[in-house]
Amino acid sequence: MYKYDEVDHRLVRERVAQFRDQTRRFLAGELSEDEFRPLRLMNGLYVQRHAPMLRVAIPYGHLNSTQLRKLAHIARTYDKDYAHFTTRQNMQFNWPALENVPDILAELAEVEMHAIQTSGNCVRNTTTDAFAGVAADELLDPRPYCEIIRQWSTLHPEFAYLPRKFKIAVSGSLEDRAATWVHDIGLHVVRNEEGEVGFRVIVGGGLGRTPMVGKVVREFLPTRHLLTYLDAVLRVYNRFGRRDNKYKARIKILVQAMTVEAFAAKVEDEWLHLKDGPSTLSEADVAYYAAFFTDPSYETLAANSAEFVAQQASEPAFARWLERNTHAHKQPGYRSVVLSLKKTGVPPGDITAAQMEVAADLADRYSFGELRVAHEQNLILADVKESDLYQVWLQAKQHGFATPNIGLLTDIVCCPGGDFCSLANARSIPVAEAIQRKFDDLDYLFDLGDIDCNFSGCMNACGHHHIGNIGILGVDKNGEEWYQITLGGSQGNQSAIGKVIGPSFAQADVPLAFEKIMQLYLEQRLAGERFIETVRRIGLVPFKERVYAKLD
């Protein structure tokens, strides 16, 4: 992974010093609340329901064990012994005291971490495929480009005060696992007819109040032009994006208002002046950053050793975990392990300080000391030998992250909701738990198969409910919490925005509605058909009829 040099260290230290002084001036009354707000937001600090919330950047979801131990230390020292992984692959602390935040940032800086631009109207943490570098279907390792984008976007003087937040995702594989169609800019690696690798540039996707699938503004951008083209897109947005209404300020609204053709033409116009300028990437530049992301020293192993096969045969629970919680690896004899943070009774994405330390130990012992955070809010050990999987399973089980539910209905992607967030209309955590309890039978859950379930406590859509195969949105009706259910959303190459099936439900009725939807799916599915495929084939009407039949 990327290693800071002296200049990276210096810049982060300077940002800590700057923020320390901004906090001091705010506490001394020299900065008003209105003046301090954008400054603290640009450093990941929200003022929440109970206390400030600090969001720490985990660039493109990559962590090493030292960093995770530091996060555990911060959770213990400055917070309540736990933290929360977000859908932007970041980590949130829910209970820090404002006056301690500069010290927390100084501790983070020691391990090459920060909270720069994890919030505010600026370019946010770039996200990518959690299996980058180890996935079998990869055209290009996206991580060097993510690091280049991280540096380009960090403390960018021209784009620090954009109309609204700005999110970039990069996918390097054939199958898009980075949700590039629902980002402000999605960069999807493609190969052109000459065999050259470049990016398809998708602009104007996004969730929130006005969910939209993005549009292609450039079918093929040679990788060397990455930064000048990003500058052109951002400059057009910075100058012409709406600033009069925060709900109309995302780039998707500008693209829609201008039409994608006119927007693309304006970007090309701007780019003509920037193209081949000093920010053009040479092969040496890309090679320099790629050198940080070389393969670890894999052993030459045979896949599926006799012992490994025997372990699966004698221990069905291990086989089940293996099926759901590990992923194929490009290197024979290795697999990637997903540590589930979706145990029933624990808020999705939450992790205790003790679990962080266990995960760091597992990474050191079994996966070259590195981990990834998935945007589905789980942790990943990317490079585990098959012969170590049994041990990893035993230890993960002991510490509460071996729930074999990855990709299943109970692997719910969920925002913190009304229990923590001051924006939320409704609580999400207790409802997610009620669903997990309803579907606690593993055989039934396995039979239902792959289902993305996403839950947001308000229309800001932090839980990405629009792209859940089944999505839940908390809504407020006269001060009461109600829940809307959507079906048919999906991420990846066939990205789609889910549609609301009908009137919203009271909290207690959500699990039952889920059960009816799943029953209908089991009745209707063709052999081998996944839930989302059945929804696409038969449409929403049968589900609607089933769910609301007895309510009339």
How many residues bind another protein (CB under 8 A)? The answer is 40
* The binder of another protein chosen from 38, 222, 296, 542 (CB under 8 A): 38
Closest to another protein by CB, 19 or 483? 19
Compute the distance between CA of residue 248 and CA of residue 260 in angstroms, rounded to an integer.
Answer: 16
> Could you tell me the CA-to-CA distances from 392 to 82, 321, 339, 440, 474 in Å, in that order?
22, 11, 10, 23, 37
Residue 526: CB minimum distance to another protein, A:
51
Taking phi first (over 0 means left), then psi (-120 to 50 degrees means alpha), and beta for anything else, what does residue 396 get? alpha
Nearest alpha-carbon partner for 375 in 461, 464, 489: 464
String of contacts with another protein for each residue 209-238, x by CB under 8 A: ------------------x-------x--x
CB 455 within 8 A of CB 471: yes
Residue 246: CB minimum distance to another protein, A:
11
Residue ranges in 112-171 that form contacts with another protein under rule CB under 8 A: 121, 148, 151-152, 154-163
Residue 33: CB minimum distance to another protein, A:
14
* The binder of another protein chosen from 3, 7, 29, 479 (CB under 8 A): 7
Residue 47: CB minimum distance to another protein, A:
17
Residue 368: CB minimum distance to another protein, A:
25
Does residue 307 sit in helix, strand or coil? helix
Closest to another protein by CB, 4 or 390? 4
Residue 35: CB minimum distance to another protein, A:
7
Closest to another protein by CB, 284 or 508? 284
Residue 139: CB minimum distance to another protein, A:
23
* The binder of another protein chosen from 24, 191, 209, 239 (CB under 8 A): 239
Contacts of 546 (CB under 8 A, 6+ apart): 516, 517, 519, 520
Residue 193: CB minimum distance to another protein, A:
29
Residue ranges in 270-329 that form contacts with another protein under rule CB under 8 A: 273, 277-279, 281-282, 284-285, 288-289
How many CB atoms within 10 Å of residue 424? 22
Nearest alpha-carbon partner for 161 in 254, 238, 242: 238
Q: How far apart are the first and last CA of the chain?
A: 57
H or E element that contains 430: helix 429-438
Written as six digits, the tokens of 144 are: 């060097």
* The binder of another protein chosen from 2, 22, 125, 187 (CB under 8 A): 22
Compute the distance between CA of residue 232 and CA of residue 61 in angstroms, rounded to an integer.
Answer: 26
CB 339 within 8 A of CB 381: yes
Opening angle at CA 375, ends 373 and 377, nearest 5: 70
Closest to another protein by CB, 162 or 459? 162
- Which residues here bind another protein, judged by CB under 8 A? 5, 7, 10-11, 14-15, 18, 22, 35, 38-39, 121, 148, 151-152, 154-163, 227, 235, 238-239, 243, 273, 277-279, 281-282, 284-285, 288-289
